[in-house]
Amino acid sequence: MAAGETQVYAKVNSKLKARSATSLLDPLLGMGFPAHTALKALAATGRKTAEEAADWLRCHCNDPSLDDPIPQEYALFLCPTGSLLEKLQEFWRESRRQCTKNRAHEVFPHITLCDFFTCEDQKVECLYEALKRAGDKVLGSFPPTVPLVLHSSVSYLGFFVNDSPADVIREFAMAFATEAAILADCTVKPCTKQLHLTLAHKFYPHHQRTLEQLARAVHPGHSCQWTAALYSRDMRFVHYQTLRALFQYKPQNVDELTLNPGEYIFVDPTQQEEASEGWAIGISQRTGCRGFLPENYTERASECDTWVKHRTYTFSLALDPNLRKDAEASSRRNGELLPPPRPRSAGSLQALQAAIVRRSVLVVRHGERVDQIFGKSWLQQCSTPDGKYYRPDLNFPCSLPQRSNGIKGFENDPPLSSCGIFQSRTAGEALLDSGIRITSVFTSPALRCVQTAKHILEELKLERKIKMRVEPGIFEWTKWETGKTTPALMTLEELKEANFNVSTEYRSLLWECASAKKTKRKESGRWWPLL
């Protein structure tokens, strides 16, 4: 490299280091953390915020490998977004449901641009600059659409990238490898073989036809923004199995691990001789500690679930001036690297439309209720003369929540049966498998509906994250109950006391409409909206 170029890159390096130290490293040093562990924490959390790195260090205070100079492994992938990604994710779900799991399910849809490589913790931010420089170099020639050709064999199914678009993508991968070597002193091996997006790998031969039929529903011409994404992983656990904790577990002995729902455990299948049946020896990703754990508290997770996303570079971002301003503000928060502005075109507007997340409303019917099975006299079958509940049949619920009007209040507001609870949980399990993202839940005030929503959220692992909004406007009482007044339903306070996570801040749409009309009538001593 020429002397002038050397001076330029030296300035870039010093500038990056100065910015990094000011924004991220200094707060950690001010908290008393050593520089080498602070840098390690920043690399392990994707260099997003000092707060995340500090939390990582606090969790790893008993990690025996905390001071070991073990760098992260990094890789660069070209990832689809928009409609194409949705179709690929649908293929992922259906192929797993119909043909069981194969090796492709271990990682998200992507085109590999380079092999995994190591980078010293103090030079990670230089990799981000290398990614931006490489993206800017090929931005003008990057194809607006990447043609994908389906290829199938006995053990492999996927899309191949051919012709000039493949050459441009290889040029980008080569540019990144060159910049990473100059700026971060990394040895990166770019992909020089056939570029491909794997759909299925190492599957059973008799599943080939089914997988091909599912793959034909994925049209490569779907709208797509291609994004280069830089990921990292802990190189020590590459060949380990990854488990996800399903339940909380508190250690009974000093050699056992604490488990929190959702955290990941690395398990080496070759080192399980010391573990008893039903137990495993693993290392917690959250704390770095090693110990025994009950296997039935966990489930198998995918390889990429523990990878850390660092920075992205999107090649075909639509650049409306206002949207560009919002995107740049978001990129500063999330560490994304945006390309320089381009003139707005019809193609960019189509890309923008493809990037808008589609919203849907899921309508769910409540599960089986007890009066549907045991008739209108069900309450007499399960109550004692002094008004206490007992369970005369296994399809009756185990217990009933407390309410102000006693057990008599359940006569017109029946709960779910045991089968109804099972149906609700099955619906939640199906939603979890489908990958659908739930952001809010509205439920009728009827007990059976609130119970159904609760059990669905429990299966989705969202029962403590999403509060149910009780909306009287979706209660069909005039059709269900022939009386002149509404049944006495449980109040929000009673539901909360019964361990239902309902929102007390939500204001019913029914009352909002009534307030807008400013019309009310008085009935049975209470004010009811006239709609």
Q: Name the domain boundary from 234, 269, 290.
A: 234
In this predicted structure, what is the pLDDT of residue 275?
85
Q: Do 120 and 210 share a structural domain?
A: yes
In this predicted structure, what is the pLDDT of residue 21?
40
Q: Do 200 and 80 share a structural domain?
A: yes
Q: 528 φ, ψ to 5°? A: -125, 140
Q: Do 412 and 301 share a structural domain?
A: no
Percentages (nearest 5) of helix, strand, coil residues in the chain: 40, 15, 40
What size, in residues, is the chain? 531
Contact partners, residue 71, CB within 8 Å, separation at least 6:
43, 118, 119, 120, 121, 235
Between the CA atoms of 10, 13, 16 and 22, what dihedral angle is there, to the nearest 10 degrees?
Answer: -90
In this predicted structure, what is the pLDDT of residue 303?
87
- Cα separation, 210 vs 216, in Å, equals 10
Q: Which class for 289: exposed (0-12), middle (13-18), buried (19 or more C-beta within 10 A)?
A: middle
Q: What is the CA radius of gyration of the chain?
A: 28
Q: Name the domain boundary from 266, 281, 307.
A: 307
**DSSP states of 219-278:** -TTS----EEEEEEE-GGGTTSEEEEE-S-B--SSTTB--B-TT-EEEE-GGG-TTSPTT
Domain range spanning residue 52?
24-60
Which residue intervals of 21-104 are DSSP H helices?
26-30, 35-44, 50-59, 82-99
Residue 491 inside a domain? The answer is yes
- Taking alpha carbons only, the member of 340, 316, 346, 343 closest to residue 328 is 340
Identify the H or E element spanning 479: helix 477-480
Contact partners, residue 93, CB within 8 Å, separation at least 6:
433, 434, 435
Residue 519 inside a domain? The answer is no
Residue 339 inside a domain? The answer is no
Mean pLDDT of the residues in the chain: 83
- Cα separation, 375 vs 289, in Å, equals 56
Q: Do 208 and 273 share a structural domain?
A: no
- Cα separation, 285 vs 237, in Å, equals 10
CATH number at residue 287: 2.30.30.40
Q: Name the domain boundary from 215, 234, 253.
A: 234
Residue 352 inside a domain? The answer is no
CATH number at residue 488: 3.40.50.1240
Q: Quick one: tokens of 219?
A: 């049209």
- Taking alpha carbons only, the member of 311, 312, 319 closest to residue 351 is 319
CATH number at residue 227: 3.90.1140
In this predicted structure, what is the pLDDT of residue 348?
46
Residue 508 inside a domain? The answer is no
Q: Do 298 and 444 share a structural domain?
A: no
Tens digits of pLDDT across the chain (531 residues): 444 444 444 444 444 444 444 478 888 888 899 999 999 999 999 999 999 999 999 999 999 999 998 999 999 999 998 889 999 999 999 999 999 999 999 999 999 999 999 999 999 999 999 999 999 999 889 988 888 999 999 999 999 998 888 999 999 999 999 999 999 999 999 988 899 999 999 999 999 999 999 999 898 776 688 999 999 999 999 999 999 999 999 999 999 999 999 999 999 998 888 888 889 999 999 999 999 999 999 999 998 999 999 999 998 653 334 444 444 454 544 555 655 555 444 444 444 444 444 567 889 999 999 988 888 889 889 988 888 899 999 999 999 999 988 888 888 889 999 999 999 999 988 888 777 788 899 999 999 999 999 999 999 988 888 999 998 888 876 555 545 566 788 999 999 999 999 998 888 766 555 455 444 433 333 333 332
**Which tens digit of pLDDT belongs to each residue from 400-455?**
999 988 888 888 889 999 999 999 999 988 888 777 788 899 999 999 999 999 99
The region that residue 288 occupies, defined by phi over 0 for left and psi between -120 and 50 for alpha, beta otherwise, is left
Q: Do 218 and 258 share a structural domain?
A: no
Q: Do 200 and 140 share a structural domain?
A: yes
Q: Quick one: tokens of 491?
A: 């109040």
Q: What is the largest CA-CA distance in the chain?
A: 97
Q: Do 384 and 414 share a structural domain?
A: yes
Residue 104 inside a domain? The answer is yes
Residue 7 inside a domain? The answer is no
Q: Do 381 and 265 share a structural domain?
A: no
- Taking alpha carbons only, the member of 132, 91, 75, 145 closest to residue 348 is 145
* Count of domains for the chain: 4
Residue 442 inside a domain? The answer is yes
Measured in whole angstroms, the distance separating CA 201 from the mean position of its chain's CA atoms is 23
DSSP state of 56: H
For the beta carbon of residue 97, count every other beta carbon within 10 angstroms: 12
- Cα separation, 219 vs 442, in Å, equals 35
Q: Do 96 and 53 share a structural domain?
A: no
Which residue intervals of 335-417 are DSSP H helices?
346-355, 370-374, 378-381
For the beta carbon of residue 350, count every other beta carbon within 10 angstroms: 15
* CB crowding 113-141: b at 16 or more within 10 Å, else e: bbebbebebbbbbbbbbbbbbbbebbeee
Q: Do 167 and 149 share a structural domain?
A: yes
Q: Do 440 and 295 share a structural domain?
A: no
**Which tens digit of pLDDT belongs to each residue from 375-410?**
888 988 998 888 889 999 999 999 999 998 888 888
